[in-house]
Amino acid sequence: MQRKLISSGSEFESKIGYSRAVVDGDYVFVSGTTGYDYADMSISSDVAKQTEQCIKNIEQALVAANSALKCVVRVTYILPKKSDFELCWPVLNHYFGDIRPAATMFEAGLLDEKMKIEIQVTARVMSTT
């Protein structure tokens, strides 16, 4: 399988020089994704709502890569304030509770102060057989 680049249309992709996701072989690598709604470049001030939007953005990239949330094998959560992480748990459990990918969370500054969470995932491409 050839390498395939997936774009969300976010202005950050062209400004910084990266893809929302890269399909390489049987895997999809989704870049760190924030809670911006790319339709209008808005972002909620609520960390749980940002988490929900992150996952919607990730899901869109996965679908474009012939994958799905159920194919996620690894997830990384990055938050500027680790104390916000527990507020995200209900949303994360809703989407990943049955999938249970390997996960890591760490505290680090993000590109914009409005960003309260960034999520990156690795998933498998769905089998065509």
Residue with tokens 């959560």: 77
Q: How far apart are alpha carbons 127 and 115 in whole angstroms?
A: 34
Q: In what order do the strands lie in the sheet with 21-24?
A: 4-6, 21-24, 27-34, 118-124, 72-79, 102-107
Total-model pTM: 0.92
pLDDT of residue 97: 96
> Tens of pLDDT along 38-63?
888 899 999 999 999 999 999 999 99
pLDDT of residue 128: 64
Q: Is the pLDDT of residue 1 over 80?
A: no
> Tens of pLDDT along 59-108?
999 999 999 999 999 999 999 999 999 999 999 999 999 999 999 999 99
Which domains, from first to last, does the chain contain?
Answer: 4-124 (3.30.1330.40)
Q: Can you state the percent helix, strand and coil of the chain, rounding each to 5?
A: 35, 30, 35
